[in-house]
């Protein structure tokens, strides 16, 4: 069984907004080298949740967990 993890964040129009979430994803990858980790976004940024799931499935993941990362300040 190959495991995947999607860290699911809100997204924003400003690409710099994702930097802290990319750092979290890098830390999770380092801590869990046997797990394929992807960052996905609800809106404004890519990949979206379905695309990240498709990518992990195409990479052979048979079990995928989604963890919400709605931690950023809003900017709407």
Domain boundaries, the chain: 8-63
Q: What is the rounded CA–CA span in Å between residue 39 and residue 9?
A: 7
Question: Bigger pLDDT: 73 or 53?
Answer: 53
Q: pLDDT by residue (tens digit) across 29-60?
A: 999 999 999 999 999 999 999 999 999 999 99
69 neighbors 24 (Cβ within 8 angstroms): yes
CA distances from 38 to 12, 70, 75, 76 (A): 17, 15, 23, 25
- Mean pLDDT along residues 52-75: 89
């Amino acid at each position: 069984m190959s495991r995947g993890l999607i860290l699911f964040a809100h997204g924003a129009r400003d690409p710099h907004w994702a930097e802290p979430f990319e750092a979290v994803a890098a830390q999770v990858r380092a801590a869990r080298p046997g797990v394929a980790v992807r960052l996905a976004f609800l809106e404004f940024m890519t990949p979206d949740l379905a695309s990240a799931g498709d990518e992990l499935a195409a990479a052979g993941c048979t079990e995928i967990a989604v963890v919400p990362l709605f931690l950023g300040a809003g900017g709407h």
